[in-house]
């Protein structure tokens, strides 16, 4: 599931329409994707600990806590199997992860 060799390259350049020769590099960084995902997860975990799922919505006027993204990142970081259950429906787009697995992952201490 993990690819330790995946690298994210972020390069931001400033340019002008009137002067096509002008290019100034404002940012040029490279980092492993695992570092980024770990930082995002840590931020989400801090928000979850501070506000909770419903409290987050009550504290902010817009937006819900991104619980699905939080659980997917947590599963990725802890090698937790979040495979969908087999459904008896014919629609392949319907995928459900066991609620017990979701709660187990949510309650897992990091």
Summarised one tens digit per residue, pLDDT across range 78-101 is 999 888 777 666 666 667 788 888
Domain of residue 82, residue span = 7-107
Q: Which residue has the tokens 């970081």?
A: 77
Q: Considering just the CA atoms, what is the radius of gyration of the chain in Å?
A: 20
Residue 39 falls within a domain, yes or no? yes
Q: How far apart are CA 18 and CA 102, in angstroms?
A: 54
Residue 70 falls within a domain, yes or no? yes
Residue 2 falls within a domain, yes or no? no
Number of folded domains in the chain?
1
Residue 1 falls within a domain, yes or no? no
Nearest to 85 by CA among 76, 100, 75, 95: 95
Residue 87 falls within a domain, yes or no? yes
Q: Are 31 and 8 in contact (CB under 8 A)?
A: yes
Residue 77 falls within a domain, yes or no? yes
- Give the model confidence (pLDDT) of 36-81 as tens digits: 889 999 999 998 899 888 888 888 777 788 888 999 999 998 999 8
């Amino acid at each position: 599931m993990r690819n330790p060799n995946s690298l994210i390259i972020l390069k931001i350049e400033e340019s002008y329409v009137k002067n096509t020769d002008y290019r100034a590099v404002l940012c040029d960084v490279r980092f492993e994707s695992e570092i980024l995902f770990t930082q995002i997860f840590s931020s989400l975990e801090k928000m979850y600990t501070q506000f909770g799922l419903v409290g987050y919505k009550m504290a902010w006027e817009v937006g819900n806590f991104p619980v699905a993204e939080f659980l997917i990142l947590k599963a990725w970081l802890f090698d937790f199997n979040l495979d969908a259950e087999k459904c008896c429906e014919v629609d392949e787009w319907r995928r459900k992860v066991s609620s017990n697995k979701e709660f187990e992952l949510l309650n897992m201490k990091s």
